[in-house]
């Protein structure tokens, strides 16, 4: 926070100017503990109050600090994390009145808390006209769209760790977003597959999508049906960052992704793509321009599931990957030699790739395996797989060249004979 309190001691005139327009100058008393709150309320004028604390670590019990919420007409900011079930009940009990000065609210339950009480539509008196930031984590609030209908100035909406008790249908969520034309950041993430009904009701999307003109970041974590239903109803032409995280599904649907990205102004060919393999998930990054990217992250353990997920992503988003000119593969652990056919199916969609970069987080097993997969192609397949490839780069090539060059030689020779040579670096 800027040191406005120093200026207030310069002279009486400066103090009068500061205290006359606290909201315009973003002046507020920040209370991080019960002691600080008591001193601030006793000494300072009736300036807006901001409450900020990790109750689990910094303020065990926290009842005295939470009691500051009784000043509902002065509260401008609330940031309480590490809430227990009892503390959350006390917070919500004190927040049934309208908080007309509230600009930011962040309530995050302690990670171990379960069976959290559900917030009702009387929260904040059902209205928060000045609210700009709303961040809830692990707190069920199924009637939240009713509150958001009064928050036309909202710029940041983050709903994380949603349970079944806090489930909001995607069509209802999309209708709610339509009223938030100033929204810049949106994150909706669910705790597990158990957070959803047994089957998400699919509705026919409207003929025209709702435009969110300044949305910059869109993050969602859940089952693919939810994100599909949501993306079918909105457009975000100014989007810089799209992150879709999926719980494991043997078969999933992301066919809305190409249509959604087609409306993004920065999402134009040619693309760069990076694929990173981890123990329990795989990351797919698509870079349409510097500082802008799409991040797809299916959660799946084992390379067989990861490659199966990749095949589905590539198939359903073929209109995107057919325009990729640079592909980066990065592995972590044993790539399992018996997956060669799956690797080929994951390489075939990249008809426009000119540069392939292969690396590993720790060892060189993925690099050796990719060299073996390409080297085992017959002459016809060597021309069909990555047909536009002209540069193949291995991380720390100097140390592994003696191992990969003999494996790659049949592929290099076949491409040389076909008139499409590949340089290895």
Q: Please give the helix or strand (H or E) that residue 137 lies within, else none.
A: strand 133-137
362 closest CA partner among 398, 331, 401, 405? 331
pLDDT confidence tier of residue 19, bands split at 50, 70 and 90: confident
> Which pLDDT score, from 0 to 100, does residue 133 have?
96
> Which pLDDT score, from 0 to 100, does residue 60 have?
61
Q: What number of other Cβ atoms are within 10 A of residue 407's Cβ?
A: 18
Does residue 352 have a pLDDT over 90?
Answer: yes
**Where do the structural domains in the chain lie, given as residue ranges?**
1-130, 268-425
For residue range 293-314, list pLDDT tens digits in order: 999 999 988 888 888 899 999 9
Q: Is 307 exposed, middle or buried (0-12, 13-18, 19+ CB in 10 A)?
A: buried
Query: 151 Cβ partners below 8 Å, 6+ apart?
Result: 128, 129, 131, 134, 180
| φ and ψ at residue 407, rounded to 5 degrees | -70, -35
Token pair in block for residue 99: 């908080």
pLDDT confidence tier of residue 39, bands split at 50, 70 and 90: low
Contact 166, 191 (CB under 8 A): no
Q: Mean pLDDT in the chain?
A: 88
99 closest CA partner among 72, 65, 70, 71? 72
Q: Which fold has domain 268-425?
A: Nucleotidyltransferase; domain 5 (3.30.420)
For residue range 189-232, list pLDDT tens digits in order: 999 999 998 877 777 777 788 999 999 999 999 999 999 999 99
Which residues are registered as beta bridge partners of 156? Answer: 133, 185
For residue range 162-181, list pLDDT tens digits in order: 999 999 999 999 999 999 99
Q: What angle do CA 122, 128, 133 make, to 5 degrees?
A: 115
Q: Where would I find the beta strands (DSSP E) of 182-333? A: 185-190, 210-211, 217-222, 234-235, 241-246, 271-277, 282-289, 292-298, 324-331
Token pair in block for residue 148: 């958001």
Does residue 337 have a pLDDT over 80?
Answer: no
> Which pLDDT score, from 0 to 100, does residue 366 have?
85
Please tell me which of 7-21, 29-43, 263-277 the model is most confident about, judged by mean pLDDT.
Answer: 263-277
85 closest CA partner among 105, 53, 56? 56
Query: Whole-model pTM?
Result: 0.88
């Amino acid at each position: 926070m800027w040191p406005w309190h120093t200026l207030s001691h310069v002279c009486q005139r400066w103090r009068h100017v500061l205290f006359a327009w606290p909201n315009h100058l973003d002046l507020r008393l920040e209370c991080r503990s019960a002691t600080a709150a008591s001193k601030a309320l006793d000494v300072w004028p009736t300036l807006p109050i901001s409450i900020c604390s990790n109750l689990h670590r910094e303020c065990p019990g926290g009842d005295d600090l939470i009691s500051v919420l009784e000043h509902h007409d002065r509260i401008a900011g609330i940031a309480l994390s590490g809430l227990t079930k009892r503390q959350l009940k006390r917070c919500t009990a004190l927040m049934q009145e309208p908080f007309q000065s509230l600009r930011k609210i962040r309530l995050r339950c302690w990670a171990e808390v379960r069976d959290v009480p559900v917030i009702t539509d009387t929260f904040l008196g059902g209205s928060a006209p000045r609210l700009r930031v709303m961040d809830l984590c692990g707190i069920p609030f199924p009637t939240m769209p009713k509150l958001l209908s009064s928050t036309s100035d909202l710029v940041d909406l983050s709903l994380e760790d949603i349970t079944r008790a806090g489930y909001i249908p995607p069509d209802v969520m999309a209708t709610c977003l339509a009223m938030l034309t100033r929204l810049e950041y949106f994150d909706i993430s669910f705790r597990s597959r158990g957070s959803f009904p047994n089957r998400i009701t699919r509705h026919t999307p409207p003929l025209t999508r709702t435009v969110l003109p300044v949305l910059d970041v869109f993050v969602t974590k859940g089952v693919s049906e939810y994100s599909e239903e949501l993306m079918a109803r909105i457009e975000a032409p100014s989007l810089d960052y799209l992150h879709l995280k999926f719980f494991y599904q043997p078969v999933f649907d992301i066919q809305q992704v190409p249509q959604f990205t087609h409306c993004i102004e920065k999402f134009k060919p040619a693309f760069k793509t990076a694929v990173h393999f981890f123990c329990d998930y795989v990351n797919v990054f698509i870079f349409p321009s510097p500082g802008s990217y799409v991040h797809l992250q299916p959660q799946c353990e084992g390379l067989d599931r990861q490659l199966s997920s990749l095949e589905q992503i590539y198939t359903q988003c073929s209109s995107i990957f057919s325009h990729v000119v640079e592909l980066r593969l990065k592995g972590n652990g044993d790539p399992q030699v018996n997956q060669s056919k799956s690797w080929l199916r994951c390489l075939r969609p990249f008809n426009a790739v000119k540069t392939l970069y292969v690396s590993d987080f720790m060892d060189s097993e993925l690099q050796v395996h990719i060299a073996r997969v390409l080297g085992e192609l017959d002459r016809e397949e060597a021309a069909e797989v990555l047909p536009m490839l002209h540069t193949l780069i291995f991380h720390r090539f100097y140390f592994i060249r003696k191992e990969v060059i003999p494996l790659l030689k049949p592929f290099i020779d076949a491409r040389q004979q076909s008139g499409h040579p590949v340089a290895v670096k």
